Chains A and B, each alone.
Chain A
Amino acid sequence: MEEPRIGVYVCWCGTNIEKVVDVAEVAKAMEKLPNVVLSKNYKYMCSDPGQDLIIKDIKENNLNRIVVSACSPRIHELTFRKTLEKAGLNPYLLQMANIREHVSWVHDDKKAATDKAKSLVAAAVTRVNHHEELQKRTVDINPATLIIGGGIAGLTAALEIADAGKKVFLLEKTNHLGGVVAGIDQSFPYFDSAQQIIQQFIKRIKQHENVEVLLNTKAENITGYVGNFKMPLPMLGIDAELEFGNIIVATGLKPYDPSAIREYGYGYLPNVITSLEFEKMLMSGKIETKDGKTPEDILIIHCVGSRNKNCHEYCSRTCCMTALKFATQLRSALPKANIYQAYADMRSFGKDCEELYLKASQKDIMFLMYDQQKYLPEIRRAPNREKCEMLVEIEEILSGDMVEVPADLVILMTAMEAHEDVKDVARTVGVSLCGNDFFIERHPKLDPVATTTDGVFIAGTCQAPKDIPDSVAQAKAAAARVLSSIDVGQVEIEVTTAFTNEDLCCGCQTCISVCPYKAIGFNEENRVSVVNEILCKGCGTCSSACPTGAIRTRHFTDKQIMSQIEGMLSMTKRKSKKTELEV
């Protein structure tokens, strides 16, 4: 290996870093470290002039290692890798030190923050000494796509891809397509028939030559990697399997079971129903109580299971609008009924949604606001059933009064939550879930339908609650991503993979059992373990498990990590106890 010649660049990030960290002092401190040829600070390293500075220095000073100390590598590692490439260096000869998120944004003591920044940058410098050139690799993309979930999002994505002439396998775990939308009557804010939309979709899907629908089928035991995934179909024979290059997860959400909320008596008060049960009633065309009577007093309760730390803390997003939709539909069906809405906050954002709220509020509907953190409305059987079925006690917070509302029918606007089996889906496609068990997107703003697993995309409510237009938009975006990857035909795959040094591997096979991607096999002839570097995701689990050091993960070798730790510690002056050997 040629002598390392390191260039260090400390970024100000405008004032983001500079106001807390003495960037000049950090840069100066790095000059003394071995193999550092130059160390500079600059206002915006990621800007074109910032990158040009690096390129110029590389060329003029024969630099062969670069440290950029700036923001998180999640934001700009790729930017600076490209900078190195432009200057003719292998992109992996870069190391970043995060002195923004890890330093300036979380500290205010300038002296201590500067010291911490020095330690982090020194760690990057000592590490980059041991960086090795890594070569990019590509694989071909299988043009078929697996879509998991046959709701509106899955159907939309399937049609989009199939219409472009590519094969789609559509998996649905129930015995019918359509998801939640198949169970709703009209859709807000325009009161168009949800049934018409969804049934048309289903019809087209069933007739489409490029779509293969698999009902009563769950996504299980998916193996492989971007461009080349596989899933066995044991019910169709031992060797039957699907092969596809991309995956779109569109598993949606399911309604929350409100029986857990004591105040609402769902389950034993027969005329307390959920929003989806009410949709069914609307579709049947008969709005009536369990005894077949037309209700005179109807109460709609919002936020059932949402926005409360005892259930789900998030907002389920579509229930307020659905509640207004219900109130409007009720008013036209039962002009004489008393309609009450107990809401916590009215959320009617989005195109033509606030307008729907305004219209509904002019339809003689009584809006009552309750404090959803303190007192939930309490429903009990009315003592005198002649007048009404139930009485609901609500602390109305705008008036400050305790009011009692009569009700023959109560509709609970239940939250939407993750399916019980979502963790299995997440595991088999290799995507993480957030604390609410929604799938995590690669970047919440810049990459909302991709995931951190290449070739796996997400669409619809499995990512978070949302309405039909947003689900459809996401589905189309995911389809576009898949189509563009099919169009390119090849993808770059992970280069930071593991590999075994066969001269050291003792054949203990410890690594094989720990690899989460089943990427390691055993070569019986040489009695050594061998990594399939296309399957390997570079997670490093095997390297920490291997007792001999035979298996190493590129870019995360023991030497690189240990040198990073040494560099980090080298900046702190330890009060060393004089050892006896020095006496």
Chain B
Amino acid sequence: MENSEKKKPKLKMAVYWGAACGGCCVSVLDVHEKLFDITELADLVFWPIALDVKYDDVRAMPNGYIDVTLFNGAIRNSENQYMAMLLREKSKILVAYGSCAHLGGIPGLANFTNRDGIFERVYDTSESTVNPEKTRPQLKTQVPEGELHLPYFFDDVLALDQVVCVDYYVPGCPPQTERLVEVFMAIATGATLPSKKTVLGAWDKTQCDECIRTKTDKKTIKEFRRPYEIEDDGETCFLEQGVICMGPATRGGCGYRCIKGNAPCKGCYGPSPDISDPGAKMISSIGTMIDSNDPVEISEIVDQVADPAGTFYRFSLPGSIIRRKIL
């Protein structure tokens, strides 16, 4: 393997998951044969989905040993938090990778309830549960082999930058693989990186800019409908057909893949720069489209929005100003 040419030392790279579904790690695998280009330039030193490297091995690394860590998943328990802090210490560049690390993502919707609420549902009331003793997971459990530990489950789900400093964000649920390759190549080839704290792998302009559906200024809504309730002509802007599309408030970069598949944008690429509460932004925008001046009719129209919290804050609740429901 030794090459006579003097080569740049290979980058050391890590991929880790917090509260995540695993999709982000799979999206890294999705680079397919490009993985060889990546491994040409980088050594993967820690990646639980693919490599058998233990926490102790990470602890043993000197600070700043890893060049780039892609951290996906939100922070939902003490283990996620510990690993975020550990990897921050060990990494030169820490990237919040994917919607959950970026703004809290789908797990962040748990901020509409809390630990007790979740435990009650999961361990008592869910349809498939029989638990008359009301057993709950314990932080410590004695077994013959010794003491077992479980992480502490927080009331709040947090975005990565709410527990450690983050250098860059790559949004998406999961991020579009091409974008990952572009970002990785930029880092690996030493291209000048944008200033810290910026979002990489996504555009500043939102989905509508790329979206080829026809749109006008006639966004007047008399009735909110769900996608299955309309006969989509495949051509008219979803909003103009009364279907909530998060496209206007969501960065481009995904290749408007949902809309191309005739499904409205769900918002996983997060808001455009400087927007501190994407849900609120979209709500005030949609509010202007409701075609009525009668308060009663307006509230009837608004009531037609199925699951407003999940619609407007599907990927962004912890990272928004409202952060959680006050219980």
Which A residues fall within an 8 A CB radius of B? 503-510, 512-514, 522, 527, 541, 544-550, 558-559, 562, 579-581
User: Contact: A549 with B274, CB < 8 Å?
Assistant: yes
**Residues of chain A lying within 8 A (CB to CB) of residue B156:** 579-580
**Residues of chain A lying within 8 A (CB to CB) of residue B248:** 506, 508, 510, 547-548
Give the Cβ gap from B90 to chain A, nearest Cβ, in Å: 21
**Residues of chain A lying within 8 A (CB to CB) of residue B81:** 581
Interface residues of chain B: helix, strand, loop or mixed (majority): loop
User: Contact: B155 with A513, CB < 8 Å?
Assistant: no
Contact A506:B205 (CB < 8 A) given known A545-B285, A545-B288, A562-B276? yes
Q: How far is the CA of A542 from the CA of B288 in the complex (A)?
A: 9
Q: Which of A504, A512, A522, A581 contacts B204 (CB 8 A)?
A: A504
Q: How far is the CA of A545 from the CA of B239 in the complex (A)?
A: 14
**Residues of chain B lying within 8 A (CB to CB) of residue A541:** 288
User: Contact: B288 with A507, CB < 8 Å?
Assistant: no
Give the Cβ gap from B198 to chain A, nearest Cβ, in Å: 14
**Residues of chain B lying within 8 A (CB to CB) of residue A549:** 271-275, 281
Q: How far is the CA of A548 from the CA of B208 in the complex (A)?
A: 10
Q: How far is the CA of A544 from the CA of B215 in the complex (A)?
A: 20
User: Contact: A514 with B288, CB < 8 Å?
Assistant: yes
Given contact pairs A506-B248, A547-B249, a sample of 15 additional A-B residue pairs in the complex whose CB atoms are under 8 Å apart? A506-B208, A506-B252, A507-B215, A508-B206, A508-B219, A509-B215, A510-B219, A510-B285, A544-B288, A545-B287, A548-B249, A548-B271, A550-B272, A562-B276, A580-B155
User: Contact: A580 with B274, CB < 8 Å?
Assistant: no
**Residues of chain B lying within 8 A (CB to CB) of residue A513:** 217-220, 288-289
Give the Cβ gap from B102 to chain A, nearest Cβ, in Å: 17
B213-242 interface code vs A (CB 8 A; 1 in, 0 out): 001111110000000000000000101000
Chain B: number of interface residues, binned into ranges: 35 or more
Give the Cβ gap from A547 to chain B, nearest Cβ, in Å: 4
Contact A506:B285 (CB < 8 A) given known A549-B274, A559-B274? no
Q: Which of B152, B209, B220, B271 contacts A507 (CB 8 A)?
A: B209
**Residues of chain B lying within 8 A (CB to CB) of residue A545:** 284-285, 287-288
Which residues of B162-179 are within 8 A (CB) of A? Answer: 163
B99 at the binding interface (Cβ < 8 Å): no
User: Contact: B284 with A581, CB < 8 Å?
Assistant: no
Please list the 5 inter-chain residue pairs (A to B) with the smallest Cβ-Cβ separation, ordered nearest first. A512-B217, A547-B248, A547-B249, A547-B285, A509-B217
Q: How far is the CA of A513 from the CA of B288 in the complex (A)?
A: 9
13 residue pairs of the A-B complex, CB under 8 angstroms, read A504-B205, A504-B273, A506-B207, A506-B209, A508-B248, A510-B217, A513-B217, A547-B285, A548-B205, A548-B249, A548-B272, A558-B275, A580-B156
Among B152, B204, B274, which residue has the most Cβ atoms of chain A within 10 A? B274
B154 at the binding interface (Cβ < 8 Å): yes
Q: How far is the CA of A503 from the CA of B247 in the complex (A)?
A: 16
Give the Cβ gap from B5 to chain A, nearest Cβ, in Å: 42
**Residues of chain B lying within 8 A (CB to CB) of residue A514:** 288
**Residues of chain B lying within 8 A (CB to CB) of residue A550:** 272
Contact A509:B273 (CB < 8 A) given known A514-B288, A549-B281? no
B268 at the binding interface (Cβ < 8 Å): no
Q: How far is the CA of A544 from the CA of B282 in the complex (A)?
A: 10
Please name the residue on chain A nearest to B284 by beta carbon.
A544
**Residues of chain A lying within 8 A (CB to CB) of residue B207:** 506
Q: How far is the CA of A513 from the CA of B237 in the complex (A)?
A: 15
Give the Cβ gap from B316 to chain A, nearest Cβ, in Å: 13
**Residues of chain B lying within 8 A (CB to CB) of residue A512:** 217
**Residues of chain A lying within 8 A (CB to CB) of residue B281:** 547-549
**Residues of chain A lying within 8 A (CB to CB) of residue B274:** 549, 558-559
**Residues of chain B lying within 8 A (CB to CB) of residue A547:** 206, 248-249, 281-282, 285
Q: How far is the CA of A343 from the CA of B84 in the complex (A)?
A: 84
Q: Which of A503, A548, A579 contacts B275 (CB 8 A)?
A: A548
Q: How far is the CA of A549 from the CA of B154 in the complex (A)?
A: 33
Q: How far is the CA of A512 from the CA of B219 in the complex (A)?
A: 10
Give the Cβ gap from A509 to chain B, nearest Cβ, in Å: 4
B122-159 interface code vs A (CB 8 A; 1 in, 0 out): 00000000000000000000000000000010111000
**Residues of chain B lying within 8 A (CB to CB) of residue A508:** 206, 208, 215, 219, 237, 239, 247-248
